[in-house]
Structure 1
Amino acid sequence: MRVTEKGQVTIPKNVRRKLGIVPGSEIEFDLREDGALIRPATSSQSRAATADFMDHIRRHKGTMDLGGMTGDEFFKLLRD
């Protein structure tokens, strides 16, 4: 991984999935003698926000009305 000039890195998708990190998640760094440990923040507010977001996504999964368009037609519309 490369660090940007602003000190930012991209957390790989497989790591985000495994840790349950979604947009808006807060994370913590635990500094150790040999490096650092990254983990989701332990605050109950952060966990609640993450759970709310994931519930929202699950409730709306597959509910988009395409107005009669097929999925292929919709994706073509997005690309054009």
Structure 2
Amino acid sequence: MRITVKGQVTIPQEVRDYAGFQPGTEVEFVIGGDGVVRVVAAGQAGESRSRRLEATLTGLRGSADAGLTTDEILALTRG
């Protein structure tokens, strides 16, 4: 991975999936006392991984709407 002359780098898909980064996610760079630089979702520098996961799932809730009612889905699954 290489930083461009503009200071840009592509975050690999596997890392974006693990971190819960979606298109449009604002990120921050956090410099730790151990010399490690971390990329975290903005405003979440102190949040735990479980909170980030919860926020990601909340954002996804309702995004897979099939346009069917519960009764229609049950009728399809029961034949």
Q: Could you tell me the TM-score, scaled by structure 2's length?
A: 0.54
Report how far residue 56 of structure 1 moved. Answer: 6.2
- Structure 1's unaligned 5+ residue stretches are 61-80
Aligned residues: 54
Percent identity between matched residues is 37
Q: Distance in 1 between matches of 2:22 and 2:65?
A: 16
1:37-52 → structure 2 map (5 Å cutoff): 37-42=38-43, 51=59
Of Structure 1 and Structure 2, the greater helix share is in 1
RMSD: 2.5
Q: 1:30 aligns to what?
A: 30
Q: Could you tell me the TM-score, scaled by structure 1's length?
A: 0.53
Report how far residue 35 of structure 1 moved. Answer: 2.5
1:2-21 → structure 2 map (5 Å cutoff): 2-21=2-21
- Structure 2's unaligned 5+ residue stretches are 45-54, 67-79
Q: Which of structure 1's runs of 4+ aligned residues deviate more than 4 A? A: none
